[in-house]
């Protein structure tokens, strides 16, 4: 289980000795599907490394709307964004499948970093990369209409979770329409109807197991079309 991690794995980048030391300062824990690892307003000074399972990181608006910021796959580190003053983070982490975690108290982790400055560079790189991704998403959401938002969502997903096979790209991540809607800030029905029309046009296929982009090249071209073209073509 813990042997094959994703390309974004933090663990993969550690030397065996570093990884061993890290395990020494944390403890392992198991969370059942659907349970929270942390909540927005909890006082909580831990960091987490996901060993197995899948986590979603979300925010909640005043009015109950959920925004999914990203998914963590095995090997990734998360929970870095505790605010030192309030000791809160404004985020929720929820296990979307049973999950095995390494939990590390923040103060111990800080010590660990001081002793292993190389790791600091990894963390900085990782945070910088998330910052870029999040910024992309923000740009996408403020400046594009529903169609392009959705197309770019699929592109991000396939970049992170995609698997190519015979010219098609499979996204092995089962997401409900509601969840996708929550990632791009549109309503569920809009996602449903976009998927419906894209299926009709043979651009994507969608089943219980995930979504498949049938022609990545054509799909790429779609994302470059102006919004109003898509509205009428689709």
Given the rule CB under 7 A, which residues bind DNA?
145-147, 176-178, 185-190, 192-193, 195-196, 208, 227-228, 231
Edge-to-edge, what's the strand order for the sheet holding 162-165?
A: 162-165, 168-171, 210-213, 204-207
From DNA, its own copies, none, interface partner of 135 (C-beta below 5 to 8 A by class): its own copies
**Burial class of residue 68 in the structure, from the number of CB atoms within 10 Å of its CB (0-12 exposed, 13-18 middle, 19+ buried):** buried
Do residues 89 and 44 touch, judged by C-beta distance below 8 A?
yes
From DNA, its own copies, none, interface partner of 125 (C-beta below 5 to 8 A by class): its own copies
From its own copies, DNA, none, interface partner of 134 (C-beta below 5 to 8 A by class): its own copies
Q: Could you tell me where the DSSP H helices lie in the chain?
A: 16-25, 106-115, 117-143, 146-161, 177-184, 188-200, 216-222, 227-233
* Closest CB 155 distance from its own copies, rounded Å: 13
The DSSP annotation for 85-108 comes to: TT---S-EEEESS-EEEEEEEHHH
Binding site for its own copies (CB under 8 A): 59, 61-63, 65, 67, 69, 80-84, 89-91, 110, 113-115, 117-118, 120-121, 123-125, 127-132, 134-144, 184-185, 224, 226
* Closest CB 82 distance from its own copies, rounded Å: 7
Question: Residue 39 and residue 32: Cα distance in Å, rounded?
Answer: 15
Structure tokens at 194: 């976009």
* Closest CB 171 distance from DNA, rounded Å: 13
Structure tokens at 134: 């999040």
* Closest CB 110 distance from DNA, rounded Å: 38
From its own copies, DNA, none, interface partner of 107 (C-beta below 5 to 8 A by class): none
Structure tokens at 219: 């799909």
Which lies closer to its own copies via its Cβ, residue 10 or residue 170? 10
Which lies closer to DNA via its Cβ, residue 52 or residue 98? 98
From its own copies, DNA, none, interface partner of 187 (C-beta below 5 to 8 A by class): DNA
Which lies closer to DNA via its Cβ, residue 221 or residue 228? 228
Torsion of CA 61, 67, 70, 73, to 10 degrees: 90
């Amino acid at each position: 289980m813990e042997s094959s991690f994703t390309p974004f794995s933090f663990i993969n980048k550690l030397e065996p000795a570093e990884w061993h030391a890290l395990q020494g300062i944390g403890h392992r824990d198991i969370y059942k599907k659907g349970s929270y690892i942390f909540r927005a307003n909890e006082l909580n000074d831990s960091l987490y490394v996901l060993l197995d399972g899948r986590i979603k990181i979300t925010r909640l608006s005043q009015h109950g709307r959920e925004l999914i910021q990203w998914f963590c796959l095995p090997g990734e580190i998360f929970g870095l964004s505790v605010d030192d003053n309030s000791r809160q983070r404004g985020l929720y982490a929820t296990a979307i499948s049973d999950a095995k975690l390494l939990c590390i108290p923040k103060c111990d982790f800080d010590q660990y970093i001081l002793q292993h400055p190389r790791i600091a560079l990894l963390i900085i790189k990782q945070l910088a990369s998330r910052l870029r991704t999040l910024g992309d998403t923000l740009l996408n959401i403020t400046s594009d209409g529903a169609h392009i938002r959705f197309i770019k969502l699929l592109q991000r997903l396939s970049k992170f979770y995609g698997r190519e096979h015979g010219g098609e790209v499979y996204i092995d991540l089962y997401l409900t329409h509601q969840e996708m809607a929550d990632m791009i800030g549109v309503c569920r029905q809009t996602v449903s109807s976009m998927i419906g029309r894209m299926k009709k046009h043979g651009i994507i296929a969608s089943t219980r197991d995930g979504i498949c982009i049938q022609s990545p090249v054509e799909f790429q071209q779609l994302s470059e079309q102006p919004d109003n073209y898509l509205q009428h073509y689709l």
